[in-house]
Amino acid sequence: MDISNVLIEALPYIKKFHDKKIMIKYGGHAMVDENAMSSTARDTVLLKYVGMQPMVVHGGGPEISRSMDRMGKEPQFIGGLRVTDEETMDIVKMVLVGKINTEIVSKIGLHGGKSLGISGKDSFLLESSRKGPTQIQHENGEILEVDLGYVGKIDKVNSDLIEHLTSNDYIPVISPIGIDKNGNTLNLNADTVAGSIASEVDAEKLIVLTDVPGLLADPDDPESLIRRARVDELRELIGDGTISGGMIPKIETCINAVENGVKTAHILDGRLNHSILLEIFTKHGIGTMIRE
């Protein structure tokens, strides 16, 4: 396509999304290498410079698991959530806050954006409490109660800090870590964090970057992309098992977000260069778009 046509196709979206908040959830599975991270950071900076207010919640599950392996600890997940003892919580903090957050912030800076790295502990952004005992079904059908340890659920989002940062032209980069009323650190699922903050700040879009082209009708067939879906259709797909594993918290997050004011939620392949730009600035977009 001619370069001038590309720019003209983008104009309605630049106008429509001017000053609008765009929440980008950058999943660990989409952080395939330095180039992919750099490209995502550059796209985020571009959104800022054309007048939007982007913000990033990052994950890092695979990197946390690799660090646990190196330290001789076996990662364990229940219902998509990491069983988190005290030592694991330290590893989670070290990887998310100490490594991934600073890498994203510096890449945004290198591309000319102003960015600040924070976690849910800063300014009590993510007031949380321990999730407590969770029921799971054993292979033999028995229902067991397990404690996920320092895994939290979000009780309240205090978004003042985010509003200050975005209105002063900063791109907030947020680690999915919460704080309880005694000041303890809790491990939160990054999809849930992105959705909760997106609703609280009235984001226009929630963009979830992962390692599949979008929601698939057949999880083994990347060609079976579902381009658009509404909440009731998604509930059916969860019920019949089409949506499973890590995709369940993602879709539940998207459903919650669009039911709580976010206009559209999108699941995209973050490994694909410029997937964010292709979604926002082209007529047909890419990935799966979810509406209420």
Ligand X SMILES: CC(=O)N[C@@H](CCC(=O)OP(=O)(O)O)C(=O)O
At a CB cut-off of 8 Å and minimum separation 6, what does 8 contact?
none
Residue 61 annotated as binding site: yes
Q: Which of 53, 195 has the CB closer to ligand ADP?
A: 195
Burial degree of 241 (CB within 10 A; 0-12, 13-18, 19+): exposed
Least distance (Å) from ligand ADP to the CB of residue 14?
28
Give the span between the Cα atoms of 49 and 88, in whole angstroms.
39
Choice between 60 and 113, CB closer to ligand X = 60
How is residue 176 written in tokens? 């999915």
Beta-strand relationship, 185-187 and 177-179: antiparallel
CB of 251 to ligand ADP, least distance (A): 8
> Going along the chain, which residue ranges are E strands?
21-26, 53-58, 77-78, 81-82, 115-119, 126-130, 133-137, 143-147, 152-157, 171-175, 177-179, 185-187, 205-210, 228-230, 264-269, 288-291
Chosen from ligand X, ligand ADP, none, partner binding at 287 (C-beta under 5 to 8 Å by type): none
- Inter-residue contact 215 to 288 (CB < 8 Å): yes
Q: Given the complex with ligand ADP, which of 2 and 240 has the nearer CB atom? A: 240
The CA-atom distances, in angstroms, between 97 and each of 129, 132, 138 are 20, 24, 34
Point out which residues bind ligand X (CB under 6 A). Answer: 27-28, 59-61, 64, 81-82, 92, 151, 176, 187-190
Residue 91 partner contact from ligand X, ligand ADP, none using kind-dependent CB cut-offs of 5 to 8 Å: none
C-alpha to C-alpha distances, 101 to 9, 15, 22, 206, nearest whole angstrom? 33, 31, 18, 19
Footprint on this chain of ligand ADP (rule: CB under 6 A): 27-30, 59, 61, 210-212, 215-216, 219, 242-247, 250
> Closest approach of Cβ 28 to ligand X, in Å?
3
> Residue 92 binds what, of ligand X, ligand ADP, none (CB under 5 to 8 Å, by partner type)?
ligand X
Quick one: 30 or 45, whose CB is closer to ligand ADP?
Answer: 30
Q: Based on CB atoms, which residue is closest to ligand X, 115 or 175? A: 175
Work out what residue 196 binds among ligand ADP, ligand X, none; the CB cut-off runs from 5 to 8 Å by kind: none
Q: Is 187 annotated as a binding residue?
A: yes
Residue 151's binding partner out of ligand ADP, ligand X, none, with CB under 5 to 8 Å set by partner kind: ligand X
* Closest separation in Å from C-beta 164 to ligand X: 25
In the bound state with ligand ADP, the residue whose beta carbon lies nearer, of 128 and 210, is 210
- Rounded to an integer, what distance in angstroms lies between the CA atom of residue 48 and that of residue 25? 16
Helix (H/G/I), strand (E/B), else coil: 63:
helix
Binding residues: 60-61, 82, 187
Bind-site residues for substrate: 60-61, 82, 187
